[in-house]
Amino acid sequence: MAEKNIGFLVVLENGKIVGVLSERDCMRRVVLARKYPEVTLVVDVMVRDVVTANLESTFADCLRLMHTNGIRHLPVVDNEKPVGVISVRDLLREAVEHHTKVISELERERMTMLTSTA
């Protein structure tokens, strides 16, 4: 994972998600458990009870799932097949972009109102 700069893995079997493994999982389940990374198999340390979102999940749904389950990455599935992963960072970036646009629009409206009443 470190060599490829990957912080989250989705483990598949026959095209379906059977587990996930994050950097945090590696630290807890391998390093802190004093297992040897060179010989420890992903299948032995992956999280099997995987929380997923689907294509109809909203921004709020994804945030709620992440918060409720204490996770930072959320696989997205379509008919049980993985189509992507959303991270907390992705959601935060989207929220910042959205709020920046809203603030800009409000500022434009305010300026329009101020100039039309002057």
The pLDDT of residue 116 is above 90: no
Q: Does 29 fall in a domain?
A: yes
The pLDDT of residue 5 is above 90: no
The pLDDT of residue 69 is above 80: yes
CB atoms inside a 10 Å sphere around CB 98: 11
Q: How many domains does the chain have?
A: 1
- C-alpha distances out from residue 70 to 3, 24, 50, Å: 26, 12, 12
Q: Does 84 fall in a domain?
A: yes
Q: Does 60 fall in a domain?
A: yes
69: domain range?
8-116
Q: Does 72 fall in a domain?
A: yes
The pLDDT of residue 53 is above 80: yes
Q: How far apart are CA 55 and CA 9, in angstroms?
A: 20
Q: Does 1 fall in a domain?
A: no
Q: Does 106 fall in a domain?
A: yes
Mean pLDDT of the chain: 93
Q: How far apart are CA 48 and CA 75, in angstroms?
A: 13
pTM summary value: 0.79
What is the CATH number for 81?
3.10.580.10
The pLDDT of residue 118 is above 70: no
Q: Does 112 fall in a domain?
A: yes
**Model confidence over 86-102: pLDDT tens digits?**
999 999 999 899 888 98
Share of the chain above pLDDT 90, in %: 75
